[in-house]
Amino acid sequence: MALELPDNVVVTKLDALASWCRKNSLWPMPFATACCGIELMGTGASRHDLARFGAEAMRFSPRQSDLMVVAGRVVMKMLPVLQRIWLQMNEPKWCISMGACASTGGVFDTYAVVQGIDRFMPVDMYVPGCPPRPEQLLQAIIDLQDKIQQGGTLAGREFARAQRSRVLVDLSASGPCGPDERAN
């Protein structure tokens, strides 16, 4: 059946449309701990202007955002906080590990620094550099947009709520250096 369509009508899959909407309105949650956070600020500020890629709406509340940018090293005391914030974010969500420290520990191969956050939580995109230049972070966001477009929603975990056993991770059971549980 041949269908005559006017020029200003586009046919697409609903799935692709949803992905297209999602990728162009990422709301980052800046988890900025150290030096990379300053470059993240630089990326958002006037010269590099993250708004060109639709990701300028930085939200500090995990409930309102869908892209976590972990900028800077994560240390023992901070990791439970990071995990808790990640768990508080709603699907669909993505995570960018910005900089060498967040990805591998970087120069800080010491007792206190977690050697890459991907050991303890999922990561979608790694940005090399110490710290990465704003251009690199922009490239990571563009790449992530591609990934979101390709991924689609059909395999989307956000619809699989029924099967998902909502395992709440017991963050307090984390050994001798676990989270700070002093009852004040």
176 is a contact residue toward other proteins (CB under 8 A): yes
Out of 32, 69, 98, 127, name the contact with other proteins by CB under 8 A: 32
Out of 14, 24, 91, 142, name the contact with other proteins by CB under 8 A: 91
Identify the CA nearest to 69 among candidates 135, 127, 143.
127
| Residues between 102 and 121 that touch other proteins (CB under 8 A) | 107-115, 119-121
The helix/strand/coil state of 73 is coil
| Residues between 1 and 30 that touch other proteins (CB under 8 A) | none
- The secondary element (H helix, E strand) that includes residue 69 is strand 67-71
Out of 79, 102, 138, 148, name the contact with other proteins by CB under 8 A: 79
| Separation between Cα atoms, residue 140 and residue 160, nearest integer Å | 27
The reply to whether omega before 28 is within 30° of 0 (cis) is no
10-18, 19-27, 68-76, 145-153 -> range binding other proteins (CB under 8 A): 68-76
